[in-house]
Structure 1
Amino acid sequence: MTYLLLATSIGYSQVYNDAAKISDSTDYYLEIGLFNKEDKKSYNKAILFTEKAIEYAKKNSLNNKLADCYLQLGNIYYDLEKNDLAIDYFIRAVNLFNKKEPKTNLALSYYGLGKCYLKKDNIQVAEIYFEKAASLYEELNFLEAIELINLQKGIIKKEKKNYIAATETLKSVIENLTDDTFLTTKTEAYIQLGEIELIQKRYSAAINYFNLANTTNSSNKTDFELTKRILKQLSIAYEKTNNTNQSLLYLKKYTHLTDSISSHLYSYESENMINKIQFDEQLRTIEQLDKDKKSQQKTLRFSKLISILSIALISILSLLSLSLYKNNKIRTSTNKLLKDKNKELTIEKERAELASKARADFLSTVSHELRTPLNAINGITYLLLQEKPKASQLNYLKSLEFSGNYLLNFINDILEINRLESDKVIVEKINFNLKELIENITISFKEFIHENNIKCHLKIDESITTNLKGDPTKLSQIVINLLNNAIKFSKNGDVWFTIKKQHEDSNVIKLYFEIKDNGIGIPLDKQDAIFDSFSQGSVEINRTYGGTGLGLSIVKKILELMGSTIHLKSESGKGSTFSFELEFEKGVKSEIKPEVKPTIKNLTEKIVLLVEDNKINQMITQKMLEKKGISCIIIDNGEEAIENAKTNHYDLILMDVHLPGINGTEATTEIRKFNTTTPIVALTAISLNENKEMLLSFGMNEVITKPFEPEHFYNVVIDYLTNTELSNS
């Protein structure tokens, strides 16, 4: 629509009279390009002159003018129905326009993008750009232009088959456009309303709207395409009502108008032929002068370049001629060898990367998918054990509990291996007390030590008096895996755990860790492979002692991440010694304040919202909550959870991360918009691409990993219910 363009079309006589006064500039070529587009319908010349305008704008660093050029070129390609090219130039225009202050041409660029994506049936993107254009027109107080956007919105709603909303929008456009300047827009709105009625088989109403469109368009005598559309639709509508005479009448008018367009254009061309010849001659003269100037500049630059290159080439050839003959044969053979080797290496590298990725994806998917049914197994086992089973049933349930825990540890190890190999692991630097950490680990092994009749000797260097700054979680993983192996493979024996200080200065302390046992040991020929994943030395060891064969692989990878190496000394039948060194920054000694945990007198008044789509997990979680007297409301999708949380008060929300439709993180984000106080705890069979920090960033307070341990589950739930009770009291 020409009235939307920033630069308006000018008459031929004005261009001819002013051409002699205007230098070769961006504005001049823009106006000529626009004239060819709007008046002459010569799109090739319109593109040519607009590109000349772009050339001058770039040469003189006129970014705003360059943006105008890109906008005009986008409109030209839109008229030619080359939507991809049009989108490219509209985006270039948007990037150059100043977005800090609202400008009409920036709005036009967004509007053009919206029309292009609408033509490509990408309605979602089209709506985004129309909204951007409407926002700018509101800032400019250009209300009539906003109605153009509303017309497009009505067309979008019609494409989505939302006919009621489309009709309301289109009627609003007609009511708000009172200025005769926008008759084309009003006409289009009537046509769209008629087409909606035609789709819904309300043919009389459709004829009425097409007649209104015809009446409104009658004053716009040059818009033949719009008139043709109206006549064609009237013919179709009357045919649907079986009014053959009226249908044939409008069909004849349509055919007559189609024939008359050609003769009208021919008459227009004849009337202005002389002026056009003069105008074209002037343009050719300007173009020739421009070409001559550029040719001279190119010739001069080329001559200088030839002189410089000639001198350089003679010097270089003199030197190279001496060495080329000797090196040619050697270089040819070496290059061939290198190419062959590089090709082989590239193929092998690609194969290795594909195999590694496939393995990681498979293990991550399998371990993640096993967690949901495993949660059901462990959860139901726990509930059955709480029901005081018979003595004959107790053994079965204990075996089931052991198997579930074994499988869970196996899955956790697989996930940890994948995580360490994915380069997504970050080594933390936080303050911690080494002695407290080691003591807590050894206490956790108390029962395992008793079961295997082990004498455990712990020795920590007394000179280590300061706190450390490092990653206590990863250090715990290393120690736990090494201690677990030492205890498991040294039944009725001894295990020594020693930590010594090797070096210390004002900021850094270097420690030596050693875990030694007098167990079965590792044969020399197995020691290199023992750190590979799923390796345990032999099938007999696996059958006798069990385990996944992943512990030492995890230890090795974590130490590599922390800049260290695991060392092994072992002899079959005489035990093993694992050692490593780690360097820590000195930490700040923290004051430990006694934690006072409030006692909840009555949990029956607490209400928890459980958002979980798996029926078995719903049942298990609800039963576990009810055992503590906690009421539980269950919702199986994120959408209903958001709406329910708006109207109801809950003391805690347990949110499954992987939900159908809106997932748990999206639902949490929406809830946090209107509720920032209710604790939300994530429930997830955590995958390789998830971590606690990522989940907490969406507004969750804590994460419980499936399958969850009952004790940990109760601790987290009761802790947040306690905090809720205290904050509300």
Structure 2
Amino acid sequence: MKKIFSHKALQIILVPIFILVTTMSVLSQNGIPPKDIQPYFDQARKFRNQDKIDLALETLNTAATESEKNEDIKALIDSLHEFAVLYLKIDKEGDTEFYWDRASVLLKDIAYPYGDAMHKYIEAILLYRSKRNFQALFMLNEAKQLNNDRNFINNLLLTEAQVYINLEKYESATKNLNSLIVNTDIYEKEYLSTQAYLTLAELNLKTGDLTESAKNGENALALANNNGFLVDVKDANNLLTIVYEKLGQYQKSLTNNQNLAQIKDSIFNIEKNKIEAKTADKIKDDYKTELIARQDKKIEELTESQNRSELTAILTAAFLIIISLLAITLYRNNQIKLKTNDLLQTKNKELQISRDDAVQAMEAKTNFLSTVSHELRTPLYAVTGLTHLLLEEDPEEHQKEHLKALKFSGDYLLNFINDILHINKIDANKLEPLNMEFNLNKVINEVINSLSQSAKANNTKLTLDYDSEIPSHLLSDPLKLSQIFMNLIGNSIKFTKGGEVKVTAKLLNKVDDDVTIYFEVNDNGIGISKEKQKNIFEGFEQGSIQINREYGGTGLGLTIVKSLLGLFKSKIELESTLNEGSSFFFEIEMTSLDDKPEDFTFEVTPRDYDFKNLHLLIVEDNKINQVITKKMLSKKEMTSDIANNGYEAITLAQENVYDAILMDIHMPGISGEEATIEIRKFNQDTPIIALTAISLDDSLESFYAAGCNDVVTKPFKPEVFYQKIGENIFDKDIRNSLS
């Protein structure tokens, strides 16, 4: 026992105990304010981008030292993360993991969202480098939710683009890179643009677009030369050497190759690499040994005072006995822990494999449903469009009956596709709740009014019990609330004949501006059995096949409600008795805006427009859709030209004057978004209405950002189609004055 617990060993064991007792804050003693270390981070970032790795390391080491001196845990975490990123730059992933682990320990004991976001971002890069791309995307999304710092988001978008390229999602990668080319980052504007151009050039080379690759490569080279980004100068010259050789421009290829050789000889030499490696290893070793040095210093101080009191010696002996017993226990526990860790590592690997499989399966399911729902819209547009045209041509009575049945089937199929796409968007995290001002009473009444005819057809009474204490101005997402009420109330009406459906809204709690509201939709319809209640919120569940045949519907309404409430962090509850009725209820937290005055609203009623002699451009690659859209315009005495693709649309828009342009989004060649962007360069006034079958990856915001005035989804109702054309042509001045 004496050999195991020597005098030196005793000191090492006792040091942590005495450090906890004796450590005092320097700041509390002398009142010196902590030094701002942000300039060190800015300077280190600049050195890193210019590939002055040794200077960047020394600057970060100073930042870490100041952080510890000031006892600034958050700044120390930031320093460790910056070290981790810098070691990634020089491909020392082992050292990156060392600093990442040190930051992990500190993050356990502090609430620091930015630090957590940066931690996940670095983990995502390590996953990407180990070719675990789906896990990397998941981790990047986690990081994105924790912080919205512009520089952080820009670097995250760059990494995300690189992951997309690995997954061959070139369109998504291109969107990210194009946004970075025109970034407004206050720290790394030129560096991010250089990286975006260079990555885009590599993507172009991979997809065979050599001209664009050369163009983007030259842009990257110019920026890198102007800002001293030495590695990027080398990479750009290397890429351009390959691209120009493939293009047959051998002189340019030779020039870039000579530049590459000169750069390698003059800058990236062995001596420089030795200096950087030596600096990197020295700083890492210094950090590792710093704690030991501090402990040695404390040991010396404690040794000097050891002989001052017999009491200290007695206490030391007591500590020795206690710690000896603890050491034996800890040794045994450590052996158990090692075995447990081995088992946990094995299980963890199994879980990681299962998670990867689940992520890939979800991705495959999402892509499949998105593709199917999108592709079905094109033939469905032909069905509904031709049905409308035939009904307008005064058919025979027996034909009219068949056409109405066909129209009903088309509308049913469209609602079914919309439901699938909606659930798919929620599952794929494509939907997020908005935060806008609205009047809850008005939202619920609008839903009730829209369903009143359905209630009347079922001889069902529809009532609303609305608590007058609910604030008139609330902050939440009225659109998704409308969808929830539309599905719940519509569902109750469908299964209640000759009865009553009652909607309740009550204020449960109000603390300052935070309010909790209770909602309930109650009916005395057919009810739901206890057995079926377990699965009623799952997709395509309606109780039984007989109920489905008698009442119709897809069984997706309650699934949508459950998913939408999940976005509000709420849960749908159900109480039901077979043949007596059902009650669906839930609670939602919102923000009150009581201080705002009542606003005056007005509604624009649908107008009858005179479309005669209007001349429109139809941009559509599908021949059947061209015929249908052209005939629908002709019905209202409008003339039209047809562009088969985006290139033709740009040419016709330059050569002719149109009252409006109907723009399909998904076309071969260039998309409708790209065509709209080009048209807006020389024509800012002509209304452009996106006429498209929206898929999971489409974004309405991107349509408007490209320059579209409005969006009509295919297939559409004719009255909506004509109303949108009229609003955008005749009400354009009114709309502009209100915006």
1:614 paired residue among 608, 622, 625? 622
Query: Are 1:623 and 2:631 an aligned pair?
Result: yes
- Which residue of the partner structure matches residue 517 of structure 1? 523
The percentage of aligned residue pairs carrying the same residue is 43
- Which residue of the partner structure matches residue 708 of structure 1? 716
Q: Which amino acid aligns with 2:599?
A: S
**Alpha carbon RMSD of aligned pairs, Å?**
4.6
Q: Which amino acid aligns with 1:590?
A: D
Question: Structure 1, residues 156-175: CA drift from partner, whole Å, max 9, x if none?
Answer: 8896479xxx9xx99xxxxx
Q: How does 1:85-164 map to 2 (within 5 A)?
A: 124-130=212-218, 160=247
Q: Distance in 2 between matches of 1:341 and 1:135?
A: 48
Q: Which amino acid aligns with 2:671?
A: N
Structure-2 change in CA distance of 1:60 and 1:604 (3 Å) = same
Question: 1:126: how far off?
Answer: 3.7
Query: Are 1:590 and 2:599 an aligned pair?
Result: yes
Query: Are 1:656 and 2:664 an aligned pair?
Result: yes
Q: Distance in 2 between matches of 1:126 and 1:658?
A: 27
1:567 paired residue among 573, 588, 599? 573
Q: Distance in 1 between matches of 2:518 and 2:328?
A: 61
Q: Distance in 2 between matches of 1:398 and 1:449?
A: 22
Q: Which amino acid aligns with 1:630?
A: M
Question: 1:541: how far off?
Answer: 1.9
Question: 1:694: how far off?
Answer: 2.2
- Which residue of the partner structure matches residue 18 of structure 1? none
Structure-2 change in CA distance of 1:345 and 1:715 (3 Å) = same
Question: Structure 1, residues 419-445: CA drift from partner, whole Å, max 9, x if none?
Answer: 111122121122222232222212221
Q: Does the Cα contact within 8 Å between 1:603 and 1:629 map onto a contact in 2? A: yes
Q: Distance in 2 between matches of 1:673 and 1:503?
A: 53
Q: Distance in 1 between matches of 2:248 and 2:444?
A: 67
Structure-2 change in CA distance of 1:717 and 1:127 (3 Å) = closer
Q: Which amino acid aligns with 2:368?
A: F
| Structure 2 spans left out of the alignment, 5+ residues | 1-50, 60-186, 227-238, 259-270, 300-319
Structure-2 change in CA distance of 1:676 and 1:523 (3 Å) = same
Q: Distance in 1 between matches of 2:572 and 2:189?
A: 58
Query: Are 1:434 and 2:522 an aligned pair?
Result: no
Question: 1:582: how far off?
Answer: 1.9
Q: Which amino acid aligns with 1:529?
A: N
Structure-2 change in CA distance of 1:335 and 1:630 (3 Å) = same
Q: How does 1:155-174 map to 2 (within 5 A)?
A: 160=247
Instruction: Classify the secondary structure of the residue corresponding to 1:401.
Output: helix
Question: 1:520: how far off?
Answer: 1.1
Q: Which amino acid aligns with 2:485?
A: V
Structure-2 change in CA distance of 1:425 and 1:676 (3 Å) = same
Question: Structure 1, residues 54-77: CA drift from partner, whole Å, max 9, x if none?
Answer: 89988999xxxxxxxxxxxxxxxx
- Which residue of the partner structure matches residue 364 of structure 2? 358
Q: How does 1:233-252 map to 2 (within 5 A)?
A: none
Q: Does the Cα contact within 8 Å between 2:606 and 2:723 map onto a contact in 1? A: no
Q: Distance in 1 between matches of 2:188 and 2:471?
A: 60
| Structure 1 spans left out of the alignment, 5+ residues | 1-52, 62-97, 139-151, 171-183, 189-285
Question: 1:332: how far off?
Answer: 4.3
Instruction: Classify the secondary structure of the residue corresponding to 1:388.
Output: coil
Structure-2 change in CA distance of 1:606 and 1:347 (3 Å) = same
- Which residue of the partner structure matches residue 380 of structure 2? 374
Higher alpha-carbon deviation: 354-363 or 565-574:
354-363
Q: Distance in 2 between matches of 1:414 and 1:598?
A: 33
Instruction: Classify the secondary structure of the residue corresponding to 2:490.
Output: helix
Instruction: Classify the secondary structure of the residue corresponding to 2:706.
Output: coil
- Which residue of the partner structure matches residue 557 of structure 1? 563
- Which residue of the partner structure matches residue 678 of structure 2? 670
2:456 paired residue among 445, 450, 455? 450
- Which residue of the partner structure matches residue 217 of structure 1? none
- Which residue of the partner structure matches residue 141 of structure 1? none
Q: Does the Cα contact within 8 Å between 2:500 and 2:524 map onto a contact in 1? A: yes
Structure-2 change in CA distance of 1:336 and 1:443 (3 Å) = same
Q: Distance in 2 between matches of 1:99 and 1:427?
A: 32
Question: Structure 1, residues 25-73: CA drift from partner, whole Å, max 9, x if none?
Answer: xxxxxxxxxxxxxxxxxxxxxxxxxxxx989988999xxxxxxxxxxxx
Structure-2 change in CA distance of 1:309 and 1:409 (3 Å) = same
Structure-2 change in CA distance of 1:309 and 1:362 (3 Å) = same
Q: How does 1:4-43 map to 2 (within 5 A)?
A: none
Structure-2 change in CA distance of 1:309 and 1:723 (3 Å) = closer
Q: Does the Cα contact within 8 Å between 1:503 and 1:510 map onto a contact in 2? A: yes
Q: Does the Cα contact within 8 Å between 2:661 and 2:686 map onto a contact in 1? A: yes
Determine which structure has greater relative contact order: mean sequence separation of CA pairs < 8 Å that are 6+ residues apart, divided by chain length: 2
Q: Does the Cα contact within 8 Å between 2:210 and 2:243 map onto a contact in 1? A: no
Equivalent residues, number: 491
Question: 1:460: how far off?
Answer: 2.1
Query: Are 1:399 and 2:487 an aligned pair?
Result: no
Structure-2 change in CA distance of 1:677 and 1:481 (3 Å) = same
Question: 1:619: how far off?
Answer: 1.1
Q: Which amino acid aligns with 1:591?
A: F
Q: Does the Cα contact within 8 Å between 1:598 and 1:722 map onto a contact in 2? A: no
Larger radius of gyration: 1
Question: 1:357: how far off?
Answer: 2.3
Structure-2 change in CA distance of 1:569 and 1:54 (3 Å) = closer
Q: Distance in 2 between matches of 1:641 and 1:433?
A: 43
Q: Distance in 1 between matches of 2:707 and 2:555?
A: 38
Q: Distance in 1 between matches of 2:341 and 2:224?
A: 61
Instruction: Classify the secondary structure of the residue corresponding to 2:558.
Output: helix
- Which residue of the partner structure matches residue 702 of structure 2? 694
Q: Does the Cα contact within 8 Å between 2:465 and 2:503 map onto a contact in 1? A: yes
Structure-2 change in CA distance of 1:617 and 1:515 (3 Å) = same
Q: Distance in 1 between matches of 2:381 and 2:189?
A: 54
Q: Does the Cα contact within 8 Å between 2:452 and 2:462 map onto a contact in 1? A: no
Instruction: Classify the secondary structure of the residue corresponding to 1:577.
Output: strand
Question: Structure 1, residues 444-464: CA drift from partner, whole Å, max 9, x if none?
Answer: 213222222212222223344
- Which residue of the partner structure matches residue 253 of structure 1? none
Question: 1:343: how far off?
Answer: 3.5
Q: Does the Cα contact within 8 Å between 1:651 and 1:724 map onto a contact in 2? A: no
Q: Which amino acid aligns with 2:365?
A: R
Q: Distance in 1 between matches of 2:223 and 2:350?
A: 58
Q: Distance in 1 between matches of 2:727 and 2:624?
A: 25
Q: Does the Cα contact within 8 Å between 2:646 and 2:672 map onto a contact in 1? A: yes
Query: Are 1:547 and 2:553 an aligned pair?
Result: yes
Q: Does the Cα contact within 8 Å between 1:521 and 1:571 map onto a contact in 2? A: yes
Question: 1:523: how far off?
Answer: 0.9
- Which residue of the partner structure matches residue 145 of structure 1? none
Question: Structure 1, residues 349-376: CA drift from partner, whole Å, max 9, x if none?
Answer: 2333232222222211111111111111
Instruction: Classify the secondary structure of the residue corresponding to 1:514.
Output: strand
Q: Does the Cα contact within 8 Å between 2:505 and 2:520 map onto a contact in 1? A: yes
Q: Distance in 1 between matches of 2:489 and 2:397?
A: 34
Q: Distance in 2 between matches of 1:434 and 1:359?
A: 36
Q: Which amino acid aligns with 1:563?
A: K
| TM-score (norm. length: structure 2) | 0.58
Question: 1:656: how far off?
Answer: 0.3
Q: Does the Cα contact within 8 Å between 2:662 and 2:689 map onto a contact in 1? A: yes
- Which residue of the partner structure matches residue 63 of structure 2? none
Q: Which amino acid aligns with 1:696?
A: Y
Question: Structure 1, residues 7-26: CA drift from partner, whole Å, max 9, x if none?
Answer: xxxxxxxxxxxxxxxxxxxx
Q: Distance in 1 between matches of 2:57 and 2:604?
A: 72
2:425 paired residue among 419, 427, 442? 419
Instruction: Classify the secondary structure of the residue corresponding to 2:538.
Output: coil
Q: Distance in 2 between matches of 1:492 and 1:547?
A: 20
Instruction: Classify the secondary structure of the residue corresponding to 1:364.
Output: helix
Q: Distance in 2 between matches of 1:457 and 1:59?
A: 70
| TM-score (norm. length: structure 1) | 0.59
Structure-2 change in CA distance of 1:340 and 1:127 (3 Å) = closer
Higher alpha-carbon deviation: 508-517 or 665-674:
508-517
